Amino acid sequence: MNYDIVIVGLSITSSWGNGHATTYRSLARGLAGRGHRVLFLEHDTPWYAENRDTPQPPGTTTRLYSSFEELIERFEAVIRDARLVILGSYVQDGARVGDWVTSVARGRTAFYDIDTPVTLAKFARGDFEYLSPKLIPQFSMYLSFTGGPTLKRLETQYRSPMARAFYCAVNPQMYANAPALEAKFDLGYLGTYSEDRQPSLDRLLLDTARRRRHGQFIVAGPQYPDSIAWPRNVERVEHLAPDRHAWFYGSQRFTLNITRRDMIAAG
């Protein structure tokens, strides 16, 4: 089968500690609804394999590969012939994959950065984990979760031919028909543990829960260390699949959103 859009991304099959999955699933579904044939290529890893909440997302054909070498061997033809190939941020061996994609693909290529401020902060430290600055001009376009002055910087400092804001995608069918819920929790937060974000979570939610002992709070997300002393009135959910997001947010009076320092600095 020929695919007109191929996406090489972090993970679409598992949302465990992975906010990329929700965007990729919604994007693929939307593209399919417009008549596109979408192939998603995902590096198979143990931590996502153990937590696959959507093994075959609707709207896309999903294929797993175990190594960079297998990616080349199995999928070079579809990469070459696709009208558009999108490489996402945080893909394992991303810099190697990007160099290969931009040299093989005959159609358009795009780097989709769901973590733009983090990427640029990595560049400043000489960290080219999933993208190197020299690769940016080789992509036809740079799709960024961050807009504003960052786009100009990508074009002038890093020589992207075209940098455009491309924000989160959402599946409205998953949320539009959610029933009205009575607020069970005063305040809630959804996010994977991050050393960068934890001081804000401590100050804004955990300290509040300790002071407001009659209140009810909830924190969902994996990888929090055992050393955290959770107040008794804070409910913990280790993994919250996207199909429970509507329940999660609908059960709260207020929702806390915390982002990384690099993203705050970028506005």
For the cut 90, the answer to whether the pLDDT of residue 167 exceeds it is yes
Residue range 112-135, pLDDT digits in tens? 999 999 999 999 999 999 999 999
pLDDT digits (tens, 9 = 90+) for 25-38: 999 999 999 999 99
Q: Where are the beta strands (DSSP E) in 76-160?
A: 84-88, 108-113, 141-144
Candidate from 40-54, 76-90, 137-151, 173-187 with smallest mean pLDDT: 173-187
178-265: same fold as 5-172?
Answer: yes
**Is the pTM here over 0.95, yes or no?**
no
Whether the pLDDT of residue 1 is over 90: the answer is: no
Question: Which of 77, 107, 80, 89 minimizes the C-alpha distance to 8?
Answer: 89
Domain residue spans of the chain: 5-172, 178-265
The tokens for 243 are: 């199909």
> How far, rounded to the nearest angstrom, does the alpha carbon of residue 259 sit from its chain's CA centroid?
13
* Distance between CA atoms of residues 220 and 207, nearest Å: 17
Model confidence at 180: pLDDT above 80 = no
Q: Residue 189: count other Cβ atoms within 10 Å of its Cβ.
A: 23
Instruction: Give domain 5-172's CATH architecture.
Output: 3-Layer(aba) Sandwich (3.40)
Mean pLDDT across the stretch 189-216? 96
The CATH number of 178-265 is: 3.40.50.2000
CA–CA separation, 115 and 86 (whole Å) = 15
Tokens of 249: 């947010």
Q: Closest Cα to residue 112, out of 67, 167, 30? A: 167
How far is it, in rounded angstroms, from Cα 106 to Cα 128? 25
